[in-house]
Amino acid sequence: MAEAGPDVKQQQPQQAQHRLSTAIEQTPQSGDRLPGVDELVMQRYRVTKVIGDGGYGTVLAVFDENTKKSYAIKTEKYSRSMLHIEVHVLRTARDRNCKHFAELIDQGSVRKEYVFVVMTLMGRDLHKLRNDQPHRHFSPATAVRVAIQTLEALQELHSCSWISRDVKPGNFVIGLAENQTTCYLIDFGLARRYISSSGTIYKSRGEVGWRGTARYGSLQAHMRRDLGRKDDIESWLYMSIELWKGALPWRHLVERTAIQAMKIECRTTKRYQMFADCPKQYTTMLTEIDTWGFEDEPKYELFYKTLSDIARNIGIDGQSRYIPYDWEDEHNAAGNNSQSDKAQQRIGGGSHEPVEEHEGR
Ligand SMILES: Nc1ncnc2c1ncn2[C@@H]1O[C@H](COP(=O)(O)OP(=O)(O)OP(=O)(O)O)[C@@H](O)[C@H]1O
């Protein structure tokens, strides 16, 4: 962790003093590892579910026996952890009153074994929610509002001096209960500052290697070049098109070079295929993004206007009747994959699409 030393250090918990780090500090094991579930049960937090089990770490839903509140705990092995970035981003987002981020509750590390962050427990991610839909895409009314909210989340991240470099549906989650119509940006494992503390935008470092997830990567990412705010927005557009129509033309491709070639074709000969079944404004947004340079500030306001035009065209702007999001009225339990699993079974035990994993740590 950037601000936690090799031993456990509490970082000014925002709520009650948590005893998790004290509890796990006493564990006798040593070496780079993830904590056992029962270690987290020891004192205050009872693990209720393993939400995510990725290559670098684990996300757990826990119940705080003292406050009777649920939280998410993300843990990563010490040596490969990027959770210090997560802490920086969440702290800055909190200071700036950003609305599309989880609240940072607690964080720390245990010797050189593992690090952890305690944060707001959220609901399912947009990838799972899309897979739950009968045709694996959102209704226009949901897709356009999700596009607006996810763009707001990225604008907020950029206003905090960070870029994501891994914009994809799996990195946006919805809230629980009364927050289930708000989208939150999670996972800052590949995030990077694009601006110095004195306000100078860093120059492109040229070729730096692959960062991100192939399906949503920008053309710059495919060229293994340094990424800026525009690349987050290009990835956002690919994601928004997929959420609207259910698929991107390169969904079955695995090889990064083949995906790159298809993304280039989709700007020329296959442009019609790319933008069929989604609003014509999406093609103009891609044209606009392609004019931006590495250091340029994205034209967020122009895109909000474009998205509100789309919303008006489909009759959800200035509406007198509230249209629910596609997932509203469903049982929205945190980490509840049952709907998603059912949808996967319905289409034959899997999505038939390559699993999307990010790279570039
Ligand atoms: N605060 C949270 N509340 C509920 N679920 C969460 C929360 N944070 C993460 N998750 C879930 O855990 C999964 C993994 O989280 P995250 O993307 O942050 O970790 P990761 O190890 O970087 O995963 P990946 O390698 O798949 O990107 C997410 O898809 C999300 O469903």
Q: What is the pLDDT of residues 217-275, one digit of tens each?
A: 999 999 999 999 999 999 999 999 999 999 999 999 999 999 999 999 999 999 999 99
Q: Say if residue 43's pLDDT is above 50.
A: yes
The pLDDT-based confidence of 22 (bands split at 50, 70, 90) is: very low
Residue 336: exposure state from Cβ atoms within 10 A (0-12, 13-18, ≥19):
middle
For residue 26, being part of any structural domain is answered with no
Give the pLDDT score at 270: 95
Q: Which atom of ligand 1 sits closest to the CA of residue 123?
A: 4
- Residue 310 forms part of a structural domain: yes
Our count of domains for the chain comes to 1
The CA-atom distances, in angstroms, between 107 and each of 10, 44, 64, 67, 96 are 6, 14, 15, 17, 19
Per mean pLDDT, which range of 29-43, 99-113, 154-168 is the poorest?
Answer: 29-43
**Ligand 1 geometric centre to CA of 42 (Å):** 23
Give pLDDT, residue 316.
Answer: 85
Pocket of ligand 1 contains residue 263 by CB under 6 Å: no
Mean pLDDT to the nearest integer, 36-41: 58
Q: Is the CB of 361 under 6 A from ligand 1?
A: no
Choosing from 106, 166, 232, 326, which is the catalytic residue?
166
> Which pTM value belongs to this model?
0.84
Residue at 149 is within a domain: yes
Residue 87 inside a domain? The answer is: no
Both tokens of 141, joined, read 């009314």
Is residue 204's pLDDT more than 70? yes
Confidence of residue 52 (pLDDT cuts 50, 70, 90): confident
pLDDT beyond 80 at 320: no
Compute φ and ψ for 245, nearest 5 degrees.
-105, -10
Alpha-carbon span 142 to 151, nearest angstrom: 14
Does residue 55 lie within any of the structural domains? no
CA distance 159 to 56: 28
Q: Is 38 part of the annotated catalytic residue set?
A: no
Q: In the chain, where does DSSP find H-type helix?
A: 20-25, 37-41, 83-95, 126-131, 140-159, 219-222, 229-245, 256-265, 271-275, 281-289, 300-313, 338-346
Q: How many CB atoms lie within 10 A of CB 357?
A: 10
Q: What is the structure's pLDDT at 16? A: 30
The domain in which residue 136 lies consists of 126-348
Instruction: Using the mean position of ligand 1's atoms as its centre, give its distance from the Cα of residue 278 in Å.
Output: 29
Residue 74 annotated as lining a ligand binding site: yes
* Ligand 1 pocket member 334 (CB < 6 A): yes
Residue of the nearest CA to atom 17 in ligand 1?
187
For 217, the 3-state DSSP assignment is: coil
Model ipTM over 0.85: yes
CATH code, 168? 1.10.510.10
